[in-house]
Amino acid sequence: MDTQKTRTWAEISLGALRHNCRQIQRSLPAGCGLMGVVKADAYGHGAAVVAEQLRQAGAAWLAVACPEEALALRQAGESLPILVLGASDPAWAPVLAEHRVAQTVECREKGQALAAALHPGQRLQVHIKLDTGMGRLGFPWEGAGLEQALEVLRLPALEPVGVFTHFAVSDEPETGREYTQEQFRRFRAAVSELEQRWGNRFPQRHCANSGGVLFYRQEGYTLDLVRPGLLTYGVYPGRERGGLDLRPVMSLRSRVAAVTHHRKGDTVSYGRIWTAQRDTTLAVLPVGYADGLHRCLSGRLEVLIRGRRFPQVGRICMDMCMVDVTGCPDLAPGEVATIFGRDGEAEISAAELAEKAGTIPYEILCAVSPRVPRICSE
């Protein structure tokens, strides 16, 4: 892995990714498959590479947010079944069918429009989405919602291969247990009514996201498939580990661009929000908010250099930020700095950064911008 000329990069540990897949798969009952969630460029990790690893690790399906993401995977040669989780424009139907991509159907009108948009002789695989309490997409789980889902199930141009729902609070085991259990109960009731009246079984029933796998797998929420996204990338949605030992896949690293010296009383960066309280040595890092380092973290994060933590100071700029490295003797341009990830014995997690930024680790990972090359390591 030669990064000598790279200013800032995201290191993607394929070994960690495979380890996480094995850990997750081992925790599942026999017969339950893994649907790898690779939307948003695999949470910023690089969808084509992640998909290939997941396939080799034995994943049964891939999930993306939109048709564009599915087609990009097909263009990269990906052969696994793919599900588009989002609500897509019906005009996509012929292309999706041609590329053997399954589409979520969230309402009767969409099901009819997808079927109508297909070319003669084409069939489109679909997964029926039920809203059991997320309040986002899906057929209502009871009453008229099920009548409408049944109408979609009977459209000859559609091939229903799955049914699913999505949890709102499965990642909050302390406060969200009752609600998650209620969502699961609704899902089971709706699926069994649908199957009974339709006269067929859904080959794939699925509901467990990362929280579902972490905290509800022993209660049977795994069904035919699970859809953990965040866990695959070695990041937990909260503090609890749920009996899984996962490794972070992404580290964000940069290279010291310059080392500068400042007198007590000097100010640094836009807005002059930081003043040197003593004679100070700074490292200028070529990483800024255009790379995904949120500007709201200005003056609040720490960076690892030589396995030690140093405070970032002053406003984070678009392409750079400054780190107080006073007391780190003869630091030179070219040395590696870690924004999150491991450096020697020290580690900064995406979760730590998320907490400081007032957000969730998902957003920290997804924010790493396309300008940052993804560099895979074993």
Ligand X SMILES: *Cc1c(COP(=O)(O)O)cnc(C)c1O
Catalytic residues: 39, 270
Nearer to ligand X, 81 or 314 (CB): 81
Which one, 7 or 205, has the nearer CB to ligand X?
A: 205
For residue 26, the 8-state DSSP code is H
Structure tokens at 181: 């259990």
Stretch that binds ligand X, among 146-154, 227-235, 270-278, 305-313 (CB under 6 A): 227-235
Of 15-23, 223-231, 324-332, 341-349: span binding ligand X (CB under 6 A): 223-231
| Closer by beta carbon to ligand X, 37 or else 284 | 37
Nearest to 43 by CA among 362, 369, 375: 362
Q: What separation, in Å, do the N-terminal and C-terminal C-alpha atoms of the chain show?
A: 10
Q: CB neighbours (10 Å) of residue 109?
A: 12
Mutual angle of helices 67-75 and 47-56, in 10-degree steps: 70
* Smallest separation, CB 39 to ligand X (Å): 6
Among 230, 276, 304, 354, binds ligand X (CB under 6 A): 230
Using the rule CB under 6 A, give the single segment among 70-78, 225-233, 268-276, 319-327 that binds ligand X.
225-233
Query: Is residue 163 within the footprint of ligand X (CB under 6 A)?
Result: no
Please answer whether residues 210 and 237 qualify as being in contact, where contact means their C-beta atoms are separated by less than 8 angstroms. Answer: yes
Interface residue with ligand X among 37, 70, 305, 365 (CB under 6 A) is: 37
Least distance in angstroms from the C-beta of 164 to ligand X = 7
Distance CA 61, CA 45 (A): 18
In angstroms, give the least distance from the CB of 361 to ligand X. Answer: 10
Q: How many helices (H) and strands (E) does the chain have?
A: 11, 21
Q: How far is the CB of 209 from ligand X (least distance, A)?
A: 4
| By CB under 6 A, residue 229 contacts ligand X | yes
> What part of residues 273-332 is at the interface with ligand X (CB under 6 A)?
none
128, 162 contact by CB (below 8 A): yes
The identity of residue 118, as a single letter, is L
Between residue 189 and residue 218, which ones bind ligand X under the rule CB under 6 A? 209-210
How many residues touch ligand X under the rule CB under 6 A: the total is 10
Closest to 204 measured CA to CA, from 308, 83, 298: 83
Cα dist. 74→50, 64, 123, 223 in Å?
14, 12, 18, 27
Q: In angstroms, what is the minimal distance from the CB of 305 to ligand X?
A: 31
CA distance 354 to 109: 39
Under the binding rule (CB under 6 A), the answer on residue 162 touching ligand X is no
Nearer to ligand X, 235 or 268 (CB): 235
Based on CB atoms, which residue is closest to ligand X, 37 or 323?
A: 37
Output the smallest distance, CB 168 to ligand X, in A. 11
Cβ-proximal residue to ligand X, closest one: 229
CA angle 151, 35, 203 (to 5 degrees): 40
State the minimum distance, in angstroms, from the CB of residue 336 to ligand X.
29
Candidate ranges 106-114, 224-232, 275-283, 337-345; the one touching ligand X (CB under 6 A): 224-232
What DSSP string runs through 270-287? GGG-EE-SSSEEEEEES-
Q: Does 227 bind ligand X (CB under 6 A)?
A: yes
By CB under 6 A, name the one of 7, 45, 108, 166 that touches ligand X.
166
Instruction: Between 19 and 308, name the residue whose CB sits nearer to ligand X.
Output: 19
Q: Which two tokens mark 28? A: 């599942």
Residue entry with tokens 């679909």: 126
Question: What tokens were used for 341?
Answer: 């990830």
263 Cβ neighbours under 8 A, 6+ residues apart: 276, 279
User: Mask 73-112, x = binds ligand X (CB under 6 A)?
Assistant: ------------x---------------------------
For strand 267-268 and strand 302-305, is the pairing parallel, antiparallel, or unpaired?
unpaired
Binding stretches for ligand X (CB under 6 A) = 37, 39, 85, 166, 209-210, 227-230
